[in-house]
Structure 1
């Protein structure tokens, strides 16, 4: 509804008009409709021409009838209720409604922005703290990396030194065995006389021993305690030259007696005959390396594996050069 006086727009609920009544109004009444606020401002109409009933005592039936007839002739006019200020203010115009909504939204947005601002401030403080912690951690990591790199270099140097020292110690240990020979396969007996057995060996291979040639004879513990093979016999001779003479004599004897190589029967030991092997006395490391070289030579078809002065050599065949097996990496050279 649009007020004919103030031209303000009202919805039916604010104008206190039901939908049914609105549909019954014609066009003129809609165009001439006034809101309650404009109606309250209009002046009151003059009631000087209104008929007033005469005051007469009601003392007779005639008077009573006359009074009733006069009351019927009086035009009664319904009193208009004056709208109170509260009822006027209860009608809200579109502009006021927009203003109220705008104020509410502005207040709500301000509160939300204030909360967001506080949250952003908190995030900023948290990020600043995390950045400081990250810088500290990054510095610590860089320091640790430098320390680790330094330790890695030191470790590499130490490993190189340890390897060098290990090789030197191994060489020294091998040099200490330079005048020793090792016999494997000699059966053990409680009443055995190892010195006489060694003398019997020298006589057999035509390299007899003198009393001063043999400095010490003993058996050593097994590397593999579960093995049923007899313990090795270590003979310490007077010199490396004497050792080489005996080894050369054993090699000649085995070449000349291919069908009856050196065995326990030749050394005067009764019982079942078992082969006896005479070789240089190697360190445990070189023994392990010698066994690995023999195994690799067998796999690759290499014909010759021998030891000279504590060093291990492998040769593929008569025409190929000798390969010095210094360590386990050298085994890769056997092809």
Structure 2
């Protein structure tokens, strides 16, 4: 082993030092170090750097101070990092608490939504049932009523007299005392040129049934069958006169849907009786009572 400065061999290790950076060996006298310095450096209590790796003071305090400074900087950074990590943990805990609170609120909202949904379903069923009952009551109030369409209108018409003429043409004797009320309906906006329909309310349901049966017997009943009461109108050609049970708006809508179904599915029979709608596919098939649109699914 030789000195990196004078290149002479180093006889005693006590009289030489090693650079802590480049690890080259030097005589103490070649780098201006005393025997005491050599002992401190070789014992590890001081660090030594050669001139090539950085200036070094005689006693080596600069190098150790520099190391301590770096160490203190690392300690400070480590403390700051610990504080930052602790802050992150605190924030994470706060966020976890917020998430738990939000989960609780969301679960509460979901429970509330489920409860409201059940209430809504119940109210919808209840509302549908109330509508059904009201419709039944309204239809029941029409149990003695008929509607007539196709009868020409006369100026200054006495509708009860018109109804009596229609009854006479059907072979039914109808005193005005057996008629509770009779009047023309509103004009049909889709058919403005056609005469307005007539609604009749009989005192007795039996009179209504007799009137309706007479019309069914006289299947070709038209304006030509009316008495001299209508001759002045000179209706040509003769037009059919229709007599039907008086249905509520809801039942009329249902009957229209049934007519569409009858046409599309080749249903042979469709009729109403006492405010109820019935359907039969053929002569030998089952009779179905149609109380709603859903009832049509059962028709076969």
TM-score bracket, shorter-length normalisation: 0.7 to 0.9
Question: Which position in structure 2 is the counterpart of 1:37?
Answer: 32
Find the aligned partners of 2:26 and 2:161 in 1 and give their Cα distance. Answer: 151
Q: How far is the alpha carbon of 1:133 from its aligned partner? A: 2.4
Q: How far is the alpha carbon of 1:37 from its aligned partner? A: 0.1
Q: How far is the alpha carbon of 1:116 from its aligned partner? A: 1.5
Residue-by-residue CA offset, 1:171-217 (whole Å, 9 max, x unaligned): 11001000000012223343333222211211111112112122211
C-alpha contact 2:146 2:200 (8 A) present in aligned 1? yes
Instruction: Summarize the alignment of residues 8-27 of structure 1 with structure 2, pairs less than 5 Å apart.
Output: 8-9=17-18
Find the aligned partners of 1:331 and 1:2 in 2 and give their Cα distance. Answer: 114
From the CA coordinates, give the structure whose radius of gyration is larger.
Answer: 1
Find the aligned partners of 1:101 and 1:33 in 2 and give their Cα distance. Answer: 22
Q: How far is the alpha carbon of 1:308 from its aligned partner? A: 0.5
Q: 2:99 aligns with which of 131, 134, 137?
A: 134
Question: Which position in structure 2 is the counterpart of 1:271?
Answer: 235
TM-score, normalization: structure 2? 0.76
Question: Which position in structure 2 is the counterpart of 1:153?
Answer: 118
Instruction: Summarize the alignment of residues 1-335 of structure 1 with structure 2, pairs less than 5 Å apart.
Output: 1=4, 4=10, 6-9=15-18, 35-38=30-33, 90-91=55-56, 102-222=67-187, 225-228=189-192, 229-254=194-219, 261-267=220-226, 268=230, 269-272=233-236, 273-335=238-300
Find the aligned partners of 2:115 and 2:245 in 1 and give their Cα distance. Answer: 44
Residue-by-residue CA offset, 1:294-320 (whole Å, 9 max, x unaligned): 110110001100000000001101000
Report the RMSD for the aligned CA atoms in angstroms: 3.3
Higher mean C-alpha displacement, 213-222 vs 302-311: 213-222
Find the aligned partners of 2:246 and 2:281 in 1 and give their Cα distance. Answer: 25
Instruction: Identify if the C-alpha distance between structure 1 residues 182 and 115 changes in structure 2 by more than 3 Å, giving closer, same or farther.
Output: same
Find the aligned partners of 2:277 and 2:250 in 1 and give their Cα distance. Answer: 12
Question: Which position in structure 2 is the counterpart of 1:53?
Answer: none
SS in 1 for 2:16: coil
Stretches of structure 1 that go unaligned for 5 or more consecutive residues are: 16-29, 42-86, 255-260
Aligned residue pairs, count: 265
Find the aligned partners of 1:330 and 1:217 in 2 and give their Cα distance. Answer: 34
